[in-house]
């Protein structure tokens, strides 16, 4: 009898785990759709996409959080609501953390020479990833604000936005798909995270839809906006 129970448990546990992950994936998609609604509201108010990162000041999720249940203060972490946390994270979040990174060609790192992206300058909205599952690279479970170290098919960092239209359908280069504590400047920490089992990663696109992307299926056209 004990042996039969053990066999049944062995058969049922993977199915139960898959069912749980299916539910978590659905919640992740819901989170990203809510974030997408917040981004759209921000764009409607200001005419450009939220800054991805302003060094030592703020970042995109704090601007968007005002429209997604957080406090109205983009200079405070309290602007970030729970929709910015993926339910399938492997490193436990210490408080409300950011588990999604933004495309640096949409939500740019702002400097004296770089301004936010005008909304009407972005084409192919159904192709372009705005934000997606990202690696947790700090001990408290946080992720980088933007995918600043991700490389396109030719090896150039995508934040340069120098994509070649001829390479549009080639996959971007795959980084390490792991969560671990890294120094702030290590680009490994800014890769996509494929933490949803067979589903892979979940991403929000420019037209507001969120969908699953299997490992190896993020293409140049999904991250470059210059063509």
From the first residue on, what is the mean pLDDT of each consecutive set of 10 residues in the chain (227 residues)?
A: 55 56 87 97 97 96 94 92 96 96 97 95 97 97 96 96 96 94 93 91 97 95 97
Residue 192 confidence (pLDDT): 97
Helices of type H across the chain: 2-46, 60-65, 220-223
Residue 81 confidence (pLDDT): 94
User: Residue 85 sits in which domain range?
Assistant: 2-223
Residue 164 confidence (pLDDT): 96
Distances (CA, A) of 143 to 26, 91, 92, 221: 21, 11, 12, 23
**How many structural domains are present in the chain?**
1
Residue 8 confidence (pLDDT): 47
Residue 198 confidence (pLDDT): 78
Residues 6+ apart with CB under 8 A from 107: 49, 50, 51, 52, 53, 60, 117, 130, 131, 145, 146
């Amino acid at each position: 009898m004990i042996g039969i129970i053990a066999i049944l448990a062995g058969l049922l546990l993977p199915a139960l785990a898959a069912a749980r992950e299916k539910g978590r994936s659905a919640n992740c998609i819901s989170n990203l759709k809510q974030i997408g609604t917040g981004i759209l509201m921000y764009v409607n108010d200001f005419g450009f996409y939220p800054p991805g990162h302003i060094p030592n000041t703020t970042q995109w999720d704090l601007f968007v959080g005002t429209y997604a249940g957080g406090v109205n203060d983009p200079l405070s972490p309290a602007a970030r609501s729970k929709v910015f946390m993926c339910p399938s994270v492997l490193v436990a979040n210490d408080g409300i953390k950011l588990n999604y990174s933004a495309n640096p060609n949409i939500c740019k790192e702002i400097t004296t020479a770089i301004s936010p992206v005008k909304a009407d300058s972005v084409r192919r909205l159904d192709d372009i990833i705005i934000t997606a599952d990202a690696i947790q690279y700090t001990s408290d479970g946080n992720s980088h604000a933007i995918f600043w170290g991700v490389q396109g098919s030719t090896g150039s960092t995508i934040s340069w936005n120098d994509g070649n239209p001829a390479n549009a359908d080639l996959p971007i280069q795959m980084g390490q798909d792991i969560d671990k504590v890294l120094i702030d400047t290590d680009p490994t920490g800014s890769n996509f995270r494929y933490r949803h089992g067979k589903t892979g990663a979940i991403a929000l696109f420019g037209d507001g839809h969120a969908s699953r992307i299997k490992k190896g299926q993020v293409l140049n056209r999904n991250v470059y906006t210059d063509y």
